[in-house]
């Protein structure tokens, strides 16, 4: 049996059903907004948030960020399409303003890469430039994209990584990866031909290259940790 098949069995449907029944429930103190810019996979993210005991709204309206207390930017696809959609829906500048306000922000996959200064995917494309750095392609000779389970090595201690040990498996799907200029923002790394950032954390920003909503119990735990910290930032007992 392949390792990935074993992992799938370990975090199989029965365990997820058990986790769902045991999930905590919090009052609607955290207004979590999942941003919709046409990239799909939104319902999976919403279910992961709800599993953690939090409510959320899916929105493509810039005004929804005004009173949001936590924002999640998920995503799949190419940098050019992502940035074009963010600008078309007038979300790019509100995202920058939201992050500058200090409120909790979680980027997932393209939601991480979009935070960099620019991407080299399909030519140079300017990104949000929230975290100085670039997005580059995996070296030649590797099967692209990286698709499937891979382990992470935790580099720092952080509340969002509570009960997520080094060596934990997460689900990746990407052909490019982020290269932040400041290596200190890399909270966890992984390896696929080269070592690359799996999780980036800076101040109120958390961003993952993998898809937590596709990563079983460990991914659900990461969403719950992120939103629990968002609640704590509001001085709400959790």
From 129, 123, 120, select the one nearest 176 (Cα to Cα): 120
Other C-beta atoms closer than 10 Å to the C-beta of 51 total 20
Distance separating alpha carbons of residues 198 and 222, to the nearest angstrom: 13
Name the residue with tokens 């952080």: 158
Angstrom CA distances, 238 to 23, 48, 102, 230, stand at 13, 18, 20, 10
Is 213 a known active-site residue?
A: yes
**Is residue 39 within 8 Å of 89, Cβ to Cβ?**
no
Catalytic residue among 109, 121, 127, 229: 109
**To 10 degrees, the CA torsion angle through 41, 52, 156, 6?**
-70
Catalytic residue among 121, 168, 213, 229: 213
Distance separating alpha carbons of residues 124 and 120, to the nearest angstrom: 5
Catalytic residues: 109, 211, 213
């Amino acid at each position: 049996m392949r390792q990935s098949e074993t992992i799938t069995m370990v975090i199989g449907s029965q365990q997820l059903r058990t986790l769902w029944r045991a999930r905590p429930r919090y009052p609607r103190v955290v207004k979590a907004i999942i941003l919709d810019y046409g990239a799909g996979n939104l319902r999976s993210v919403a279910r992961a948030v709800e599993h953690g005991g939090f409510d959320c709204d899916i929105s493509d309206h810039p005004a929804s960020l005004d009173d949001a207390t936590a924002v999640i930017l998920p995503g799949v696809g190419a940098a050019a399409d992502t940035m074009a959609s963010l600008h078309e829906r007038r979300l790019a500048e509100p995202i920058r303003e939201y992050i500058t306000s200090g409120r909790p922000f979680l980027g997932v996959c393209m939601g991480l890469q979009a935070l960099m200064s620019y991407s080299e995917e399909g030519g140079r494309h300017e990104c949000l430039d929230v975290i100085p750095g670039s997005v580059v392609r995996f070296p030649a000779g590797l099967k692209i994209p990286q698709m499937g389970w891979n382990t992470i090595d935790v580099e720092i201690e952080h509340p969002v990584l509570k009960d997520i040990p080094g060596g934990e498996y997460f689900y990746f799907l990407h052909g490019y990866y982020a290269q932040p200029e400041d290596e200190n923002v890399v909270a966890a790394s992984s390896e696929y031909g080269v070592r690359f950032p799996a999780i980036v954390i800076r101040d109120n920003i958390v961003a993952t290259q993998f898809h937590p909503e596709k990563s079983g119990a460990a991914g659900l735990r990461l969403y719950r940790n992120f939103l629990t910290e968002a609640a704590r930032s509001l001085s709400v007992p959790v």
